[in-house]
């Protein structure tokens, strides 16, 4: 998994400009699920090049740390930090094997859990996340949509195409998606059902699990029109999930 993102770290930032990745949709949904982080400590997992890590800092979090398995993604994140210091600390680690970094008011992870290679790996990730939260703290993630349908509209015109997506994906089945950046690239991850995610999170000690479908902000509708977003909203490639320790 580390190698996958080591090879595409630079291409990924190109994909960030797409409307579906923007503050109109993904950012809007994620930050709505998260709520205010003003004055709070936040651990951002699978932080990649720090796209959301920096936004968490900008929203007033007082301690922000980012963790990613890919040395190359963290190298790019640290370059941003060096160019414009915000006081964010970055660490390279598999979330499942993280050394203790302290306890945080919230842990975030935009696109992490579907990279779990087995239910056991997923459970180790969830336990590690739980161990980094204060009692009552929240975990907010954005993950591949367990209900994505091969029959629904594909997300191609929004910048992502599921390749040969099966009608009834098996637990743990490998999924590939092409991302239409300036230089297109393919990512690989695993399909896990809602039950599998929920079982791992509950076993790790989480409760009050809430799934949220993506929503478009009023600004996004004003800019592109409802019709532009509708196919994506009918069959989104990713969904938000919030739970509490
Ligand atoms: C699609 S990128 C998302 C990056 C960032 N959250 C964003 O939205 O811009 C997924 C990231 O997950 C990281 N990743 C995958 N498996 C991981 C694991 N087990 N532990 C930590 N990071 C992981 C990859 O290296 C990659 O940077």
Residue 25 CB less than 6 A away from ligand 1: no
Residue 5 CB less than 6 A away from ligand 1: yes
CB neighbourhood size of 186 (10 A): 12
Q: Residue 103 and residue 96: Cα distance in Å, rounded? A: 16
**Stretch (H or E) spanning 226:** helix 226-234
Task: State residue 130 phi and psi, 5-degree precision.
Answer: -60, -40
Can you tell me whether residue 10 is helix, strand or coil?
helix
pLDDT of residue 156: 80
User: Which atom of ligand 1 has the smallest separation from the CA of 26?
Assistant: 8
Does residue 158 fall inside a structural domain?
Answer: no
CB neighbourhood size of 222 (10 A): 11
Q: What is the pLDDT of residues 68-94, one digit of tens each?
A: 999 999 999 999 999 999 999 999 999
Does residue 9 fall inside a structural domain?
Answer: yes
Q: What is the pLDDT of residues 159-198, one digit of tens each?
A: 889 998 999 999 999 999 998 887 888 999 999 999 999 9
Angle at which helices 51-58 and 26-34 cross, to 10°? 50
User: Which residue from 61, 52, 50 is spatially nearest to 142, judged by alpha carbons?
Assistant: 52
Q: Residue 178 and residue 216: Cα distance in Å, rounded? A: 23
Strand partners, 138: 106, 244
Closest residue by Cα to atom 11, ligand 1, is: 46
**Residue 184 Cα distances to 22, 97, 161, 167, angstroms:** 18, 31, 11, 25
Does residue 162 fall inside a structural domain?
Answer: no
Does residue 153 fall inside a structural domain?
Answer: no
Does residue 84 fall inside a structural domain?
Answer: yes
Q: Which CATH number fits the domain that encloses residue 38?
A: 3.40.50.150
Low-confidence ranges of the chain (pLDDT < 50): none
Our count of domains for the chain comes to 1
Cα 47 to middle of ligand 1, angstroms: 6
Does residue 138 fall inside a structural domain?
Answer: yes
Q: Kindly report whether the global pTM for this prediction surpasses the value 0.85.
A: yes
**Stretch (H or E) spanning 130:** helix 119-131
Boundaries of domain holding 32: 2-145+193-244
Residue 165 CB less than 6 A away from ligand 1: no
pLDDT of residue 160: 87
CB 158, CB 126: distance < 8 Å: no
User: What does the DSSP 8-state code read for residue 59?
Assistant: T
pLDDT of residue 14: 63
Closest residue by Cα to atom 9, ligand 1, is: 51
CB 19, CB 202: distance < 8 Å: no
Q: Which residues lie below 8 Å from residue 193, measured CB to CB, with a gap of 6+?
A: 146, 171
pLDDT of residue 205: 98
Does residue 106 fall inside a structural domain?
Answer: yes
Does residue 178 fall inside a structural domain?
Answer: no
Closest residue by Cα to atom 1, ligand 1, is: 111
Q: What is the DSSP string of 155-224?
A: SGGGTEEEES--SSPPTT-EEEEEE-SSS-EEEEEE---HHHHHHHHHHHT-EEEEEE-----HHHHHHH
């Amino acid at each position: 998994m580390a190698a996958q993102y080591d090879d595409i770290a630079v291409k990924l930032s190109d994909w960030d400009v797409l409307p579906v990745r923007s503050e109109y949709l993904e950012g809007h949904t994620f930050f709505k699920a998260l709520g205010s982080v003003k004055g709070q400590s936040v651990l951002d997992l699978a932080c990649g090049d720090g796209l959301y890590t920096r936004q968490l800092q900008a929203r007033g979090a007082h301690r922000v740390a980012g963790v990613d398995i890919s040395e190359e993604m963290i190298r790019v994140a640290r370059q941003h930090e060096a160019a414009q210091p915000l006081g964010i600390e970055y660490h390279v680690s598999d979330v499942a094997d993280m050394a203790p970094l302290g306890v945080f008011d919230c842990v975030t992870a935009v696109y992490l859990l579907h990279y779990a290679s087995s239910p056991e790996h997923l459970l180790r990730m969830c336990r590690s996340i739980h161990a980094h939260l204060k009692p009552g703290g929240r975990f907010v993630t954005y993950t591949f949509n367990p209900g994505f349908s091969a029959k629904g509209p594909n997300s191609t015109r929004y910048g992502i195409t599921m390749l040969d997506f099966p009608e009834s994906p098996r637990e743990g089945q490998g999924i590939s998606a092409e991302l239409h950046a300036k230089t297109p690239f393919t990512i690989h991850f695993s399909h896990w059902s809602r039950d599998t995610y929920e079982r791992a999170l509950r076993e790790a000690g989480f409760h009050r699990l809430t799934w949220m479908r993506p929503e478009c902000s009023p600004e996004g509708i004003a800019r592109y029109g409802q019709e532009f977003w509708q196919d994506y909203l009918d069959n989104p490639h990713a969904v938000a999930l919030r739970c509490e320790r």
